[in-house]
Amino acid sequence: MSGAAAGALRRAGVVLAAVAVLAAAWELYASFGPADGAGIAGVRLLPRADERSMPHLGTVLSTLGDPEVAVPGARTVGEAVLSGAWTTLRLALAGWAVGALVGAALAVAMQRLRLLEDGLLPWVVLSQTVPIIALAPVVAGWGGVLTVGPLAWTPAASVVVISAFLAFCPVAVGLLRGLQAPSALCEELFASYAASWRQQLLRLRLPASLPFLVPALRLAAAQAVVGAIVAEISTGTRGGIGRLIIEYAQQATSSPARVHAAVWGAAALGLLVAALITLADVALRRTRATPGGPA
Amino acid sequence: MSPSTAAPATPGPAGPGATTPMVEVRGLTQRFATAGGTVTALDGVDLAVERGRFVSLIGPSGCGKSTLLRVVADLITPTSGQVLVGGRSAAAARREQDYGIAFQSAGLLEWRTVARNVELPLELHGVGRRERRARALELLQLVGLGDVAGARPSQLSGGMQQRVAIARALAESPPLLLMDEPFGALDEMTRERLQDELLGIAAAAGTTVLFVTHSIPEAVYLSDRVVVMSARPGRIAAVVDVDLPRGTGTDVREAPEFFARVTDVREALRGAPVRAGASA
């Protein structure tokens, strides 16, 4: 076995072990912790360990097999979580792609024109302080007002836009740093070749930016997933995991494990997206066969 | 073109019948605006480099020798004065790839193999894949790196990286080679070996070389002429012509003429007057 493969296996083992430790801690507390929590002078310091607050992992797992509603032929909770995660995954990937494209275009423009960098970069960073909860109704309000060609503005489009709004920032900032990474010497070298801006971008700046771009895209993917879930919740878009979390939270009295099942789905979604980017990175490195990381 | 005259007498504007100098700088002044005010990097510099000659620029740091090289390369636009390379403007010479350039740091692109680094200028100028690969391998053979064409720059030693940079500078067979302390970061033994290689390559191709260095022995060993500069503002303080007994079997680095010229350059750097045309 090659050293790289062994290293990857070892890292995977560490991650699994961490999950196992977390699960064991949860189980231990759920089994032996005080059902009503514990505290001093009315301030609760330890959380409740009752079935509603901390369902056993086994209960959450078995909930996945329960039918969602008591009607014959109804889909199971597991199917609902899977279907919700799949819907949200597609919206988040669309948001990620739109955000990455917009971010990349901004980065290239800012690299090209110093004036744009000075004028735009603070706003790019500042944009992330806008709470999505405040933004969501505005974007959702485009429905019925805005049409894109023959297409009307759908709630899904709102989710994509909000998700993209979170995803573009790391790409714009990270790619700009990468595009500015080449040394003054390399820039002089390309100037001495009388290389065009385009040649300099394609042969020098973009290759030099890859070690910055990949982490930026990974961060953007995580942001896109968060953005999509929050957008689903705050715009009331149906079908996704975000909406499912709300619905199941409302059923917490009767079936407390359900909301945990939905949260698991959301977490798995984030992991899946991060894994996809990592796989793409590995494939990219194989074709470039270059040691990664900023020099 | 008239036949090249043996040992051109004086630098300066080309008279009738003389060949145009490879590099001609007249009345060059370069000022930079800095936070602390305007700095005059070069003040009224005149320089002529005849074709096929090896000329070094030497001087204390801040004397503007690298700036002068960059003005010739058209990487900096001079504040005033005229720069001609091969008889045309520096800008035109850059566009037409009349020169190859190498710096103190090799500046290789880490994501390209050694061969593809050498190919870079050819690739940018539309040379076909097969042709540029053949040229790159030929050049790598020339600098003694034929067997590492497929390696990554990071796998090479500093001396080998600098050889790759020189091969890259030679890719388009430029009539002029501009070098900014290319051996400055190398150990003494590697440095001497590369000096000999560079002399051999430049002589074989008849390449004119303008070479910036801060090493007196290096300047003397390599050059037909050493241009000594003084700092603040950068001016040409003296010109020392060098005529070493090359190709006679003696070790030039141990010849008395070598030490004599080293002394001349050292004294010129200290500000002492140098005998005109000191090449006895």
Amino acid at A188: E
Domain-embedded: residue A7: yes
8-state DSSP, A202: I
Q: Tokens 């961490």 appear where?
A: A18
Partner residue opposite A195 with nearest CB, options B73, B111, B124: B124
Highest mean pLDDT among A94-103, B3-12, B85-94, B197-206 belongs to: A94-103
What pLDDT, in 10s, does the model give residues B200-250? 889 988 999 999 999 999 999 999 999 999 888 888 988 999 888 776 667
The pLDDT value recorded for residue A170 is 94
Residue A63 and residue A167 in one domain: yes
Q: Is residue A290 over pLDDT 70?
A: no
Please state, for a pLDDT cut of 70, what percent of chain B lies above it: 89
Element containing residue B189 per DSSP (H, E)? helix B188-205
Q: pLDDT at position A9, please?
A: 86
In terms of Cα–Cα distance, which of B153, B157, B159, B144 is closest to B115? Answer: B153
Res. A292: pLDDT tops 50:
no
Give the CATH fold of the B23-98+175-270 domain. Rossmann fold (3.40.50)
Q: Which of B77, B85, B103 to mutate to test the interface with A (most CBs of A within 10 A)?
A: B103
Tell me the nearest-neighbour CA distance from B274 into chain A, angstroms: 35
Same domain, yes or no: A3 and A123 = no
Where do the H-state alpha helices sit in chain A?
Answer: 3-32, 57-63, 77-112, 114-127, 132-140, 155-179, 184-192, 197-200, 206-235, 241-250, 257-288
Is A74 part of a structural domain of the chain? yes
Two structure tokens written together for A234 = 């705050």
Q: Which residue in the block uniquely carries the two structure tokens 């790598």?
A: B140
**Which residues of chain A make contact with B95, given a CB cutoff of 8 A?**
194
| pLDDT mean over B82-96 | 90
- Model pLDDT, residue A256: 83
Give whichever of A90-104, A140-154, B17-31, B86-100 has the largest mean pLDDT: A90-104
Quick one: A11 and A141 in the same domain?
Answer: no
pLDDT of A75 over the 60 cut = yes
Whole-number Å distance between alpha carbons of A255 and A252: 5
Sequence-distant (6+) residues with CB within 8 A of A147 are A153
* Calpha distance A15→A21 (Å, rounded): 10
A residues 173-202 lying closer than 8 A (beta carbon) to B = 183, 185-186, 188-195, 199
**Higher-pLDDT residue of A271, B120:** B120
> Which ipTM was obtained for this model?
0.84
Q: Are B65 and B231 in contact (CB under 8 A)?
A: no
pLDDT by residue (tens digit) across A230-257? 999 888 888 889 989 988 888 888 888 8
Residues A212 and A162 in one domain: yes
Predicted local distance difference test score (pLDDT) of residue A130: 83
Helix B129-142 × helix B114-124 angle, to 10°: 130
**Mean pLDDT on B42-62:** 91
Q: What is the pLDDT of residue A1?
A: 55
Q: How much of chain A, in percent, has pLDDT values that exceed 70?
A: 96
- Contact across the interface for A193 and B109, Cβ inside 8 Å: no
Q: How far apart are CA B22 and CA B51, in angstroms?
A: 5
pLDDT score at B276: 47
As a whole number of angstroms, the distance between CA B111 and CA B117 comes to 9
Which tokens in the block code for residue B172?
């388009």
CATH number at residue A70: 1.10.3720.10
Q: Please tell me which residue of chain B has the smallest CA distance to A194.
A: B95
State phi, psi for B98 to the nearest 5 degrees.
Answer: -80, -10
Cβ pair A234, A54 in contact under 8 A? no
Residue A21 CB contacts under 8 Å (≥ 6 apart), including other chains: none
Is the model's pLDDT at B96 over the cut of 70? yes
pLDDT greater than 50 at residue B56: yes
How many domains are contained in chain A? 2
Closest-CA distance, A286 to chain B, in angstroms, reads: 12
Q: How many CA atoms lie within 13 A of B160 on its CB side?
A: 16
Q: What is the pLDDT of residues B179-197, one digit of tens each?
A: 999 998 888 888 888 899 8
CA distance B95 to chain A (A): 5
- pLDDT tens digits, residue range B97-148? 899 999 989 999 999 999 999 999 999 998 999 999 999 999 998 888 889 9
Q: Which of A263-272, B104-113, B233-242, B264-273 bottoms out in mean pLDDT, i.e. has the lowest?
A: B264-273
Domain ranges of chain B: 23-98+175-270, 107-173
B105, B124, B154 ranked by CB distance to A199: nearest: B124
Residue in A192, A210, A291 closest to B75 by CB:
A192
Residue A91 and residue A25 share a domain? no
Per-residue DSSP letter, B146: G
The answer on A7 and A77 residing in a single domain is no
- A113-123 burial: b if 16+ Cβ within 10 Å, else e: eeeebeebbee
Is A295 among the domain residues? Answer: no
Please name the residue that has the structure tokens 């999509």: A228
Asked whether residue B74 carries a pLDDT value surpassing 70, the answer given is yes
Show the tokens assigned to A101.
């494209």
CA distance A241 to A223: 15
User: Are A148 and A226 part of one and the same domain?
Assistant: yes
Residues A229 and A255 in one domain: yes
Count of all residues that appear for chain A in the document: 295
Closest partner CB to B107 (pick from A185, A191, A203) = A185
CA of B97, closest CA in chain A: separation in Å?
7
Gap between the Cα atoms of A229 and B243, Å rounded: 79
Range of the domain at A171: 59-288
User: Do A159 and A98 share a domain, yes or no?
Assistant: yes
| CA–CA dist B277, A19 (Å, integer) | 81
Contacts with A185 from chain B: Cβ below 8 Å: 103, 105, 107
- Confirm whether A246 is domain-assigned: yes
pLDDT the model gives residue B249: 65
**Of all residues in chain A, what percent carry a pLDDT higher than 90?**
35
